[in-house]
Amino acid sequence: MALDPTLLSTALIAGGTLVGDATIKEMTKDAYQALKGKVGDLFGRRALKATDKLEAADTRDEGKAELALAIPDLRPDEADEIRPVLQTFLDAMGQDGAAREGLAHARIALDLDVGGNVLIDNVQDAREIGVRSRSDGDFTFSNVRMDTGNRSGN
Alpha carbons 99 and 88: distance in angstroms, whole number: 14
Domain extents in the chain:
5-103, 106-146
How many residues are there in the chain?
154
- pLDDT tens digits for range 10-39: 899 989 988 888 889 999 999 999 999 999
Confidence at residue 64, expressed as pLDDT on a 0 to 100 scale: 92
Chain centroid, CA 71 distance in Å: 15
Confidence at residue 153, expressed as pLDDT on a 0 to 100 scale: 42
Q: For the purposes of burial, counting CB atoms within 10 Å of the CB of 92, is it exposed (0-12), middle (13-18) or buried (19 or more)?
A: buried
pLDDT (tens, 9 = 90+) of the chain, 154 residues, equals 578 888 898 899 989 988 888 889 999 999 999 999 999 999 999 999 999 999 998 999 999 999 999 998 889 999 999 999 999 999 998 899 888 777 665 566 677 777 888 888 777 767 677 788 888 888 888 888 776 665 444 3
Alpha carbons 36 and 30: distance in angstroms, whole number: 10
Confidence at residue 108, expressed as pLDDT on a 0 to 100 scale: 66
Phi and psi at 106, nearest 5°, equal: -80, 130
CA-nearest of 21, 72, 82, 75 to 47 is 72
The secondary structure of 94-132 as a DSSP string is HH-HHHHHHH-SEEEEEEEEESS-EEEEEEEEEEEEEEE
Confidence at residue 151, expressed as pLDDT on a 0 to 100 scale: 46
Confidence at residue 154, expressed as pLDDT on a 0 to 100 scale: 35
